[in-house]
């Protein structure tokens, strides 16, 4: 097996007996042997245990995900593997039970291959992972290991989380599909909290169809599955109020992508976001800092010297935010959510950048989530699809944004957009 099949292909072949989970897992482990020394996407990996589980699933496994290997971001609890939250405080921690998303995946027959690297408590302090396209550049964060592992073909699927831009941005930097569902679609029980109003579990995959398939199973929403039906989405191109942060090459690439989509016969029109939405970026920051300061009180009170300076700075700032400022940010967010349908009037999705540009050089930071914060705050479905390149040839994704709860339409639109070559 020279390359991994898509998840849908693998599931069909395992079901009809033409492929075994053991063969698929061996292909993943062979790829890990080739790429992991450079990429360093994995925090915990037990190859013998993975092969033993694959053999067990081949003998008596069942379910729609039977034998499919999945990587799990290391802020998501796993009972049979350590969960370190990217922090030295928890490097030997072993949770008593699986997170809900992990338990649901296992119940559907999936194989948890290992734990992928996360930034510290899913904030900005980088882990060891490097960009699979250039080891001197960041893979993004906080779901750095999951994005890099999928983009490197080490595993066909991986769980991630997003509180600001932790799925969409690394998917863009690493060139894979990143899907942040509508807030709450995937249960967060057993996922280390950062900011309760924002934390969202999502997935990385090589195709939109695979991301939709995994989510349909663990979220109990079979209508999310994408088939090959013809769908010509109506697209609104929005540059958002953060457009000044877009690198010039990104602006040109997005315009080129829009032109190619129009040439393919898709309807695209420019969309201006409501003036009131100018405050959403700061509102998201306020909510995240205020809630993070409270979710990390145990560590701050007992072991603050073991936290990074970046995290302590956020937590200190969050503790100083006045409750009325937090409440005002939440009120603005509620107002904006109520107006989302008006923004998408007569459109299926919005198209906007996934990130300001290519993955930045260096490994000391994970990039800027400026093009992700407001959509995370709104809780709407977002999908980053690869297809563009920056001035140095590094990957750049585009972000498809849908209506709250209408993930099926957003995924179908992303799949249709992904079929059009977006750059020369």
How far apart (Å, rounded) are the C-alpha atoms in residues 223 and 243? 34
pLDDT exceeds 80 at position 2: no
Tell me how crowded residue 136 is: count the other CB atoms within 10 A of its CB.
Answer: 10
Q: What is the mean pLDDT of the chain?
A: 96
Split at pLDDT 50, 70, 90, the class of 231 is very high
List active site positions.
73, 142, 166
Is the peptide bond preceding residue 142 cis, with omega within 30 degrees of 0? yes
**pLDDT value at position 404?**
96
pLDDT at 1: 44
Q: Which residue has the higher pLDDT, 254 or 21?
A: 21
Report the pLDDT averaged over residues 321-334: 98
Q: Which CATH number do you get for residue 93?
A: 3.90.1300.10
Question: Token digits for 334?
Answer: 């509620």
**Domain hosting residue 59, numbered range:** 1-424
Tens-digit pLDDT profile for residues 202-226: 999 999 999 999 999 999 999 999 9
Q: What is the pLDDT of residues 273-314, one digit of tens each?
A: 999 999 999 999 999 999 999 999 999 999 999 999 999 999
Q: Quick one: tokens of 127?
A: 């882990």
Rg of the chain over all Cα atoms, to the nearest angstrom: 20
Indicate if the pLDDT at residue 160 is higher than 90. Answer: yes
**Does the reported pTM lie above 0.95?**
yes
What is the per-residue pLDDT for 275? 94
pLDDT at 106 over 70: yes
The tally of domains found in the chain comes to: 1
Structure tokens at 85: 């939250």
């Amino acid at each position: 097996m020279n390359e991994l099949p898509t998840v849908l292909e693998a599931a069909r072949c395992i079901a009809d007996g033409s492929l075994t989970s053991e063969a698929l897992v061996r292909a993943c482990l062979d790829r890990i042997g080739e790429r992991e020394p450079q990429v360093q996407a994995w925090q915990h990996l037990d190859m013998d245990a993975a092969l033993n589980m694959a053999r067990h699933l081949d003998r008596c496994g069942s379910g729609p995900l039977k034998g499919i290997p999945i990587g799990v971001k290391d802020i998501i609890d796993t009972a049979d593997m350590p969960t370190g939250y990217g922090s030295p405080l928890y490097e030997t921690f072993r949770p008593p039970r699986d997170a809900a998303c992990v338990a649901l995946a296992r119940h559907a027959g999936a194989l948890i291959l290992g734990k992928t690297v996360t930034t510290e408590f899913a904030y900005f302090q980088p882990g060891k992972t490097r960009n699979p396209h250039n080891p001197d550049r960041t893979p993004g964060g906080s779901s750095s290991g999951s994005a890099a592992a999928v983009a490197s073909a080490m595993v066909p699927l991986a769980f991630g989380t997003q509180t600001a831009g932790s799925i969409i941005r690394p998917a863009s930097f690493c060139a894979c599909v990143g899907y942040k569902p509508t807030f709450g679609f995937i249960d967060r029980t057993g996922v280390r909290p950062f900011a309760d109003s924002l934390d969202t579990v999502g997935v990385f995959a090589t195709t939109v169809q695979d991301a939709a398939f995994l989510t349909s199973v663990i979220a109990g929403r079979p209508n999310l599955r994408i088939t090959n039906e013809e769908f010509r989405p109506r697209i609104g191109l929005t540059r958002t109020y953060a457009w000044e942060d877009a690198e010039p090459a990104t602006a040109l690439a997005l315009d080129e992508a829009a032109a190619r989509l129009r040439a393919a016969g898709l309807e695209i029109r420019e969309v201006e976001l409501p003036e009131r939405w100018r405050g959403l970026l700061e509102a998201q920051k306020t909510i995240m800092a205020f809630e993070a300061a409270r979710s990390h009180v145990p560590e701050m009170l007992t072991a603050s010297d073991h936290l990074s300076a970046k995290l302590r700075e956020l937590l200190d700032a969050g503790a100083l935010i006045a409750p009325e400022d937090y409440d005002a940010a939440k009120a603005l967010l509620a107002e904006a959510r109520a107006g989302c349908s008006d923004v998408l009037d007569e459109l299926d999705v919005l198209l906007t950048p996934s990130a300001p540009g290519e993955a930045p050089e260096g490994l000391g930071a994970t990039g800027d989530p400026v093009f992700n914060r407001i959509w995370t705050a709104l809780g709407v479905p977002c999908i980053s699809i690869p297809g563009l390149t920056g001035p140095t040839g590094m990957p750049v994704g585009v972000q498809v944004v849908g209506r709250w709860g209408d993930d099926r339409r957003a995924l179908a639109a992303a799949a249709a957009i992904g079929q059009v070559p977006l750059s020369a």
